[in-house]
Structure 1
Amino acid sequence: MKFAVVGGTGLIGSKVVKKLDAGGHEAVPHSQSTGVDVVTGDGVENAVAGADVIVNLTNSPTFDEASPAFFSRSMENLLEAGRKAGVRHFVVLSIVGVDQVPELDYYRAKTLQEEILAAGPIPYSIVRATQFMEFVDSILSWTADGDTVRLPTTPIQPIAAQDVADAVAEAAAATPLQGIHNIAGPEVFALDELGRITLAARSDSRTVTTDDTAGMFAAVRGDVLTGKADASLAPTRYADWLASR
């Protein structure tokens, strides 16, 4: 099969392309660097021409109130181009619990992306993943102040980017789900404890202070960002991922 992997040069996209190619498929990466702009529509029709499957891994450049417009416009352009090209499957990567945190602009925007896809003309699959292990450093930086990092106790179930890419590639090569598949890492941590583990593994002398008002994840209620009983658990443990880095 031929796959148009839009956002195919990024963290997840590049791994999805490699995985699909290794499986004997033809996966073509597309991004702004290859002349494809999903917001203006420039290059989109050419990118999806001849593809059996669109894998959309593009992301909004901001997490704020501008993000809904990005996902709305990009999905409209990709769905219309895919319809014209006769694409048979459209896959999107989303976030576990994304529809349970309406306080966050970005999560509302990703929920909108899912809704547009489900209402669209192409059979679809949505892969929802928990927070990437690769993003923990960014999370720590959001609330760092000198020698202190403030973090809430929000439960997090981190997953390695490679495990996410494997799941996306598997979903893309399969029959459309017409629904959602949840994937998660094998362990749940309180975010403040995850921060302490990360800093200790890197011999970072900063101190993590528990603050349930700190950062984006302070808006999360309960354990909505963790995988539930229906989630597939990925194999990579956080300690092993840290050691590999």
Structure 2
Amino acid sequence: MSITTFAVAGATGRLGRHVVDVLTGRGHRVVPMSRATGVDVVTGEGLAEALVGVDVIIDVASWHASEQEAATEFFRTSARNLHAYGHKAGVGRIAVASIIGVDRATAGFLAAKKAHEELLLSGPLPVRILRAAQFHEFVGQLLDWQQGAVAYVPALPSQLVACRTVAEGLADLALDPGESAPGTPIPEIAGPRKEILAEAAALLGTRRNIKVVGVDGSGMPDAGIAAEGGFLPGPHAKLAGPTFQEWLDSQP
């Protein structure tokens, strides 16, 4: 097996940690890029040095809040910098994690990710995109945001998937030098079955002694699209376990 050198933007984040671990476990060289490692994809600090000798950039850096304008500006700047510094360093391509259904999004964070895809695809380096369903780990985040004994969680459908599963799929895509043929659907990865966010949250809530109340999601960006299954995987998606219950049972 040939060894590829990867730079992982967002290497210390929820998904990035798994991407680094998967690539390292496969014997590749990994340059972790995050503000914690002295690399900032927004200011450009440390980028030139980090990308020396890098073959592939994997972009899993993300904005920390859901406000559309701020998230879009983050993605706009990071995309421009990764392309500019990567092109100058001789990087071969960029692989990026996105979200299933962003092409339908009209508002909020998903709309910012839609812009992110478009911005990356307009740059000089070849770009491969992997759209993923909401992470199992996202359910805990929904409870954390509310910080109380009762949590109100949208009873919306998702095909929840583990971060580790997405990291493995993204590593596979990043290692594939081929280009997507025109008209080929963007690859998707999701969990093995449809789940309801509120029901998954209730399973976790039992562990945390939090009562979870399912709500209709009114007021959330594109809740109507979500309720109709607009953010579920398409027929070409790769489906891979574990289920949310299996993943939860494996957590310490």
Measured at CA, do residues 67 and 205 of structure 1 come closer, stay the same or move farther in structure 2, by a change above 3 Å? Answer: closer
Contact 1:151 1:215 in 2 (8 A): no
SS, match of residue 15 in structure 2: helix
Match of 1:5 in 2: 8
**Is 1:88 matched with 2:92?**
yes
1:163 is displaced (CA, Å) by 0.5
Match of 2:107 in 1: 103
1:219 is displaced (CA, Å) by 5.5
SS, match of residue 113 in structure 1: helix
Cα RMSD (Å) of the superposition?
A: 2.1
1:207 is displaced (CA, Å) by 4.2
1:71 to 71, 75, 87: 75
Measured at CA, do residues 150 and 185 of structure 1 come closer, stay the same or move farther in structure 2, by a change above 3 Å? Answer: same
Match of 1:165 in 2: 167
Distance 2:148 2:107 in 1: 28
Q: What CA deviation, in whole Å up to 9, does each residue of 1:59-100 have, x standing for no partner?
A: 113221211111001110110111111111111111011121
Distance 1:166 1:22 in 2: 11
1:116 is displaced (CA, Å) by 1.4
**Is 1:19 matched with 2:22?**
yes
Contact 1:101 1:219 in 2 (8 A): no
Measured at CA, do residues 151 and 205 of structure 1 come closer, stay the same or move farther in structure 2, by a change above 3 Å? Answer: closer
How many residues are paired up? 242
SS, match of residue 187 in structure 2: strand
1:177 is displaced (CA, Å) by 3.9
Contact 2:63 2:71 in 1 (8 A): yes
* Identity rate, percent: 38
**Farther off after superposition, 235-244 or 220-229:** 220-229
Distance 2:173 2:204 in 1: 31
Give the gaps of 5 or more residues in structure 1.
none
Distance 1:115 1:49 in 2: 26
Query: Which amino acid letter does the alignment assign opposite residue 45 of structure 1?
Result: A
**Is 1:229 matched with 2:235?**
yes
1:127 is displaced (CA, Å) by 0.9
SS, match of residue 28 in structure 1: strand
Contact 1:133 1:159 in 2 (8 A): yes
Distance 1:135 1:212 in 2: 16
SS, match of residue 11 in structure 1: coil
Distance 1:206 1:153 in 2: 14
Contact 1:150 1:210 in 2 (8 A): yes
Query: Which amino acid letter does the alignment assign opposite residue 9 of structure 1?
Result: T
TM-score by length of 1: 0.90
Distance 1:197 1:214 in 2: 24
